[in-house]
Amino acid sequence: MRRIALPILLLTAALLFLAGCGGVDTEQVALCRKLIPAFESAPITLVEAAQASADAQTVRLTYRAGAEPHWIDCRFGGRYFDARRHDLEAVTTDRTGPLTEMQFIMLRVWAGLPAARIGLPPEAVGAKPSGPTDWAPLLFFVQQVINAATVACVYGLLALGYTLVYGILGQINLAMGELTMIGAMVTAMGAAALGMAGLGSLPLAVLGVLATVMALTAVQGWTMDRLVFRRLRNVHSHTPLIAAIGLSLAYQEGVRLLHGARDWWPAPILAERHDLLSDGSFTVTALTSQAVILLMTAGLYALLWAIMQRTAYGRAHRACADDVEAAELVGVDVNRTVATTFAVGGALAAAAGAVIALYYGGVNFYTGYLVGFKALAAAVVGGIGSVPGAMLGGALLGLVETFWSAYFAIAYKDIVAFGLLTLFLIYRPNGLLGKDRSRGD
């Protein structure tokens, strides 16, 4: 244990040294990020998020629009423990300079931000709150747990898709992230259609869009196995892995050519904000959409557990995961079981994409690339091949990424996420709940 703990402590210390304490509020970054498409028509790539040197309450985002570098400054009413940390007060860009009052009002209308929380003088909002109390750090911690839960849902759902396929084939389908991208893009289209029809606030309408997207992506997963992976099932080389990379690139380029490279920002759905706890200086808040996402994820996980434990498909999957050849000898239809597994994995990946589109926004043809690798890291950490391990790995990665972004420099969060994966691959390759397999990939 000492041999394992020492490298972990050294890596953590090194990352802390690199990151320092210059953290940026992730919620402020997300809000500022949503304003960029109002000024840009070219594809956007975020380069860096940092606190402006001249003003601690201003977040500066550096990004590229096409090949050109630009920046945007968003000034908020406070930072971490301040009650007005969500109150946007001013916006400045390298293109326009400081926005005028009328430009700022139009930007608020375009972004759909509530007027009661942004751009108003302090006397219109109420008396200036007192400074942070002794409870503020604890409330800030609770807020990060709530934020992490949504991130964990994305990683956990996609990690389930990875782990189901690996459990039955012993192979990793790297194109699973692109099924998440397709789910996110189609969900964005459905959300836009609901908004135009005035149905965006109806839970049943949103559920209908989710079911349609999951069904469409399940067909994509089934087709992926039928046309590609079934033909490579008995190939004992890295050909299936290379084929998965080729599929991933084909999906990315196909969506880019069909829909363009610009980000899609669907209108927020179920975005009512609720105050949960407050000490007068800091308020813990949650959105209706966050509660819906948690309930949806819990429901899908319970449904998957019931399918795996109480259906003929679940028994066939477990038999194939133990020994494919033996399962085939006793009459299990391996081809149908594998195809169904790809379809179920595709549907779960689409659910993760729906969360990205409806809660985070900003989806494009590249959305599934990094998310896919992080979900794979979550599956490995939890124990790839283990269904409970996939959800546990997603929760752990979501917590680590969110808390790092909240307390330290956000630019290093991906280093921390993949550093965690590296440590598990070295010191615990089977993950938290995984089992040693007799066959490799």
pLDDT at 421 (0 to 100)? 85
CB 90 within 8 A of CB 99: yes
pLDDT at 57 (0 to 100)? 79
DSSP string, 415-440: HHHHHHHHHHHHH-TTTTT----SS-
Long-range contacts of 101-108 (CB under 8 A, 24+ apart): 107/35, 107/38
Burial (0-12, 13-18, 19+ Cβ within 10 Å), 53: exposed
pLDDT at 82 (0 to 100)? 63
Residue type, 316: A
- Cα separation, 402 vs 416, in Å, equals 11
- Cα separation, 28 vs 77, in Å, equals 11
> 293 to each of 143, 157, 199, 266, how far by Cα in Å?
16, 11, 18, 17
- Cα separation, 81 vs 85, in Å, equals 8
pLDDT at 436 (0 to 100)? 67
What is the pTM (predicted TM-score) of this model?
0.72
pLDDT at 163 (0 to 100)? 93
- Residue-wise over 215-242: b if at least 16 C-beta within 10 A, else e? ebbbebbbebbeebbeeeeeeeeeebee
pLDDT at 339 (0 to 100)? 93
Among 155, 200, 218, 81, smallest CA distance to 394 is for 155
- Cα separation, 32 vs 90, in Å, equals 11
Query: Tens-of-pLDDT digits for all 441 residues of the chain?
Result: 445 445 444 444 444 444 444 456 777 887 888 888 888 876 777 777 777 666 677 888 888 877 788 889 988 877 765 667 778 888 889 878 888 776 787 787 777 675 444 434 444 444 444 555 677 788 888 988 998 999 999 999 999 999 999 988 888 888 999 999 999 999 888 887 877 777 766 778 888 888 999 999 999 999 999 999 988 887 777 888 899 999 999 999 999 898 887 777 776 677 778 888 887 777 888 888 888 899 999 999 999 999 999 999 999 999 998 888 888 888 889 999 999 999 999 999 999 999 988 888 778 888 888 899 999 999 999 998 888 999 999 999 999 988 888 888 777 888 888 888 888 889 888 888 877 655 444
> 25 to each of 122, 181, 291, how far by Cα in Å?
21, 26, 22
Pair of tokens at residue 298: 């819990």
CB 172 within 8 A of CB 377: no
Pair of tokens at residue 265: 């920002």
pLDDT at 414 (0 to 100)? 84
Residue type, 262: R
pLDDT at 26 (0 to 100)? 72
